[in-house]
Amino acid sequence: MDDKPVAVITGASRGIGRSIAIYLASEGYDIAAIARSVDSEGMQILAKEVLQKGAEFFPVGLDISCTNCQDEVVKNILGRYGRIDLLVNNAGIAPPQRDDFLGMTEDSYDRVMNINLKGPVFFAQKVAKEMIWLRQHSLKFRPVIIFITSVSSVLSSNRRAEYCISKAGLSMAATIFADGLADEDIRVFEIRPGIIQTDMTMKLKDHYDEIIKEGFVPQKRWGSPEDIGKAVASIARGDWDYSSGAVFEISGGLNIRKL
């Protein structure tokens, strides 16, 4: 096994995943970057940035909701590197249309749940099994899994119920994985971003600008993808070695309850 650690990041072509990939490349990880297409402009730009940090870049095409395609992807990454030290389950979508929860359609529910919940859970399961094997064969190997959930795990937005439900499920998945993998010394963390400036939120930029200005976010600014990338880098450095199962809410204070 090569000495260099390997990070697998889903949804790496843009936004939060892209920033995570760049921070991890700076931390000395080689990067296996997953998105639906390996040829997108986003992947090409990311490749340059990762290579500039002296890391290897391995672009991998996978629709995370295709659970039947996942084994092949894990096999390919292990075939190339022989190890996966860090998995960041980041890929996710907002519902294509915002509608009141009474108008939520089954198609939209299934699509969001398959991409945001079912796909990441079964991908993490497959990677976890490999990590267990690798860990049992090398005590130096100390794997980590991170789930990128959302403040929507705990905050209700009834115009995108399927998103909130998927993220609440993913939060529990993080807890289940942390519990089940603690004996194997595989540490699992949940990161809950708040309102982060990416393609996902740009469609509602004016709305978010307005509520941020009005003080909905106590720190009165948008979050940036770098706010999340830095947190992942801190976990990757081992700064939270005794905190498996921890939830990091990075939301400018949205978690503060006020009277």
Site residues, ligand NAP (CB under 6 A): 10-17, 35-37, 40, 42, 62-65, 90-93, 115, 148, 150, 193, 195-196, 198-201
Q: Which is nearer to ligand NAP, 37 or 97 (CB)?
A: 37
Residue at 11: amino acid letter = G
Strands 6-10 and 86-89: parallel
Catalytic residue among 23, 81, 163, 208: 163
Q: Which is nearer to ligand NAP, 2 or 41 (CB)?
A: 41
CB of 205 to ligand NAP, least distance (A): 11
Residue 163 annotated in active site: yes
What is the signed CA dihedral for 3, 79, 128, 224, rounded to 10 degrees? 70
Instruction: In whole angstroms, give the CA distance from residue 61 to residue 36.
Output: 5
Query: Do the Cβ atoms of 84 and 135 come closer than 8 Å?
Result: no
Output helix, strand, coil percentages for the chain, rounded to the nearest 5.
50, 15, 35
Q: Which is nearer to ligand NAP, 142 or 157 (CB)?
A: 157
Show the CA angle centred on residue 175, arms to residues 169 and 177, nearest 5°. 100
Of 125, 167, 44, the closest CA to residue 33 belongs to 44
Alpha helices by DSSP H, listed for 182-224, are: 199-202, 205-213
Beta strands in the chain (DSSP E): 6-10, 30-35, 57-61, 86-89, 144-148, 187-193, 247-250
Query: Do the Cβ atoms of 29 and 54 come closer than 8 Å?
Result: no
CB of 226 to ligand NAP, least distance (A): 12
Of 16, 10, 4, the closest CA to residue 231 belongs to 16
Task: List residues with catalytic annotation.
Answer: 163
